[in-house]
Amino acid sequence: MGIYETLKSTASVLREADKIEQYRQILDAMEKLLELQNKLTELGKECKLLKEKLKIKDDLTVSNNGYWLKSNKDGPFCTRCWDKNKDLIRLKNENPYYKCPECANSYEGPNIESYRQELANLNRRGPSY
């Protein structure tokens, strides 16, 4: 028999014996037990989440202005969102920039140099009319 069932059974006996004060104490203990069980479940979920984030943290590396997962070379992810909130947000490729859909930060992508070169060439040639 679990502790909750034991308390429930004890409460029932006390109630039948008209031991109202002791009966209330058992009910209080049962309520506290439920609160603690709920808190434990909540902490378990939080612990699982933190373990997952710790695993991700150990797997992250910075390259080309974004975070990447070393294990499967997935990325890039927003450095700001991870550094600030530990949220792994995939950057959207808007060549030659990468944009974060969450915080709207933009990062230079790997094609930024050829893009700049193209712009410089256009400016050198002047307007075409």
Smallest distance, Zn ion to C-beta of residue 91, A: 8
How many beta carbons lie within 10 A of that of residue 95, not counting itself?
Answer: 10
Number of residues that bind Zn ion (CB under 5 A): 7
- Candidate list 33, 60, 69, 103; residue touching Zn ion; CB under 5 A: 103
Task: Return the bridge partners of 63, or none.
Answer: 66
Nearer residue to Zn ion within complex by CB, 19 or 90: 90
Q: Which amino acid is at 50?
A: L
Site for Zn ion in 54-83 (CB under 5 A): 78, 80-81
φ, ψ dihedrals at 110, nearest 5°: -65, -20
102 interacts with Zn ion by CB under 5 A: yes
User: Hey, what are 57's tokens?
Assistant: 């943290």
Smallest distance, Zn ion to C-beta of residue 57, A: 16
87 interacts with Zn ion by CB under 5 A: no
88 interacts with Zn ion by CB under 5 A: no
CA torsion 92→103→79→69, rounded to 10°?
A: -40
Name the nearest CA neighbour of 99 among 115, 77, 82, 117.
77
86 interacts with Zn ion by CB under 5 A: no
Q: Which residues bind Zn ion (CB under 5 A)?
A: 78, 80-81, 89, 100, 102-103
